[in-house]
Amino acid sequence: MGFFGTYLYDGDKWTPHDNDVRPDLAGPWLTVDIHDSDIATISYSPADPGTGVAYIGVTPRIYFGDETASAPTDVAREAEGLAAWREELGASAVTSDDLVDFLAEDEAEDWDSDEDSDDLADTEVFVEAKVVEFLTALSLPVPDDLLRS
């Protein structure tokens, strides 16, 4: 069994969060929802110029083998949105180029759930390890649970 967890960053700290509840915060926020160590959904607000949703690991369309599981992804657009989100916090500059390689595309050939993981790096096997690297690239703290996983 993989790792499951949902966390909300309110611009100051991380707290556990219910993924089914949209945050009711005045300022910028970001949630990370990790599903079975394979997929992480990153939701953020404000979203402009992105949609407010990006994925790390694989997208729901690929994970569930169902094109209706999520909207098609545009990693360049979401990387721009996430960089703009970070700028909204008024901290260190992060560019979309710093983030785009972390984000999952709708490419089925990139993911094989049965792949032998013995020769792969943790970031290629456990999405939570890649989320830690992503949050570091965003110059954000990391939820304690992800540091222990």
What's the rounded mean pLDDT across residues 73-88?
95
> Which of 48-52, 91-95, 107-111 has the highest mean predicted lDDT (pLDDT)?
48-52
Residue 147: inside a domain, yes or no?
Answer: no
Residue 72: inside a domain, yes or no?
Answer: yes
pLDDT at 5: 95
Instruction: Please give the backbone phi and psi of residue 33, each rounded to the nearest 5 degrees, phi first.
Output: -120, 115
What's the rounded mean pLDDT across residues 116-144?
78
**Residues, the chain:** 149
pLDDT at 90: 81
pLDDT at 27: 87
pLDDT at 76: 97
Average pLDDT over all residues of the chain:
88
Residue 87: inside a domain, yes or no?
Answer: yes
Number of domains present in the structure of the chain: 1
Beta bridge partners of 31: 8, 43
Q: Which class for 131: exposed (0-12), middle (13-18), buried (19 or more C-beta within 10 A)?
A: buried
Residue 52: inside a domain, yes or no?
Answer: yes
pLDDT at 108: 62
What's the rounded mean pLDDT across residues 123-149?
88
pLDDT at 66: 94
Question: What percent of the chain is modeled with pLDDT above 90?
Answer: 75
What's the rounded mean pLDDT across residues 129-140?
95
Residue 80: inside a domain, yes or no?
Answer: yes
Domain that holds residue 129: 5-108+123-135
Q: End-to-end distance of the chain based on CA atoms, in angstroms?
A: 13
- In this model, does residue 148 exceed pLDDT 90? no
Residue 141: inside a domain, yes or no?
Answer: no
Residue 130: inside a domain, yes or no?
Answer: yes
